[in-house]
């Protein structure tokens, strides 16, 4: 058993991107983890990843932007000698070679109630499909994507005004409050529990190519518009006079629909 180890003394390798990774690193700070006990595998600097890059530079945290599948990433991780790997919105699968470096294994945060809505864009798809609730899942990482044993899973309500943007951010914020609980389970060598039920999967592509189907009901259209609100990305579009017009609210849709009749 390793449950008597102080989590502040552990070495955390974070594979992450954007706000989720930024929040995790900040949460580790709040738990008393020193900067030198954190290393980060991330992606190149872009608008969505600029906050994380700034944080890492400001705090002097060692990081690498090479793909996790490269020899450089493996050597970087090996030199850091992690106790635990966290995956936070990282854009590719973490190879087993890196996961095996960490005696405590790896944990991924996924913004859905696994095994449902594996893959990507889960915050958008739950709105499109009219779900009343969703949640987040911390699970152990295995060779199979989003399929490892569940350590912590919590439900949250989907509000009628939710957009993919509001829902995703609420999921990430709420999930941070459960990080210490996840660490407690890892330290006690809790294997978690198997995912139950039929899995669903959604690939990394824009739902329905971002286009409103004129055959949809008003309710479906309203959900779809909200599901595609995720700045700075473009919103849903509809075709008017053979041109694609961006629609950012259901009220706009009704206006455009009326002018197209």
Whether the pLDDT of residue 213 is over 60: the answer is yes
Mean pLDDT, residues 39-63 taken together = 96
Of 72, 68, 71, the closest CA to residue 85 belongs to 68
pTM comes to: 0.91
Ranges of H-type helices in 150-217: 164-176, 179-187
Q: CB of 50 within 8 A of CB of 123?
A: no
In the chain, what percentage of residues exceed pLDDT 70? 97
Q: Indicate if the pLDDT at residue 259 is higher than 90.
A: no
| Domains of the chain as residue ranges with CATH | 7-202 (3.40.50.170), 207-259 (no CATH)
Quick check: 1 pLDDT over 50?
Answer: no
């Amino acid at each position: 058993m390793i449950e008597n180890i102080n989590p502040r003394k552990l070495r955390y390798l974070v594979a992450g991107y954007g706000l989720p990774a930024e929040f995790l690193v900040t949460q580790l700070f709040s738990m008393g983890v020193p900067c030198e006990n954190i290393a980060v595998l991330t992606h190149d600097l872009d608008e969505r990843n600029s906050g994380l890059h700034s944080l890492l530079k400001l705090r002097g945290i060692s990081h690498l932007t090479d793909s996790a599948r490269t020899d450089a990433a493996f050597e970087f991780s090996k030199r850091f000698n992690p106790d635990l790997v966290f995956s936070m919105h990282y854009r590719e699968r973490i190879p087993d070679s890196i996961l095996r470096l960490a005696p405590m294994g790896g944990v991924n945060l996924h913004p859905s109630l696994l095994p449902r809505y594996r893959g990507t864009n889960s915050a958008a798809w739950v709105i499109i499909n009219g779900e009343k609730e969703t949640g987040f899942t911390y699970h152990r990482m295995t060779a199979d994507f989003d399929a490892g044993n569940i350590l912590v899973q919590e439900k949250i309500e989907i509000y009628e005004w939710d957009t993919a943007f509001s829902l995703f951010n609420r999921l990430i914020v709420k999930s941070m409050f459960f990080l210490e609980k996840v660490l407690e389970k890892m330290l006690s060598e809790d294997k978690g529990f198997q995912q139950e039920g039929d899995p669903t999967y959604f690939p990394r592509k824009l739902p329905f190519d971002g286009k409103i189907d004129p055959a949809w009901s008003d309710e479906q259209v309203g959900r779809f518009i909200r599901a595609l609100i995720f700045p700075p990305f473009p919103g849903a579009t509809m075709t008017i006079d053979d041109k694609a017009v961006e629609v950012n609210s259901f009220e706009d849709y009704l206006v455009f629909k009326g002018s197209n009749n």
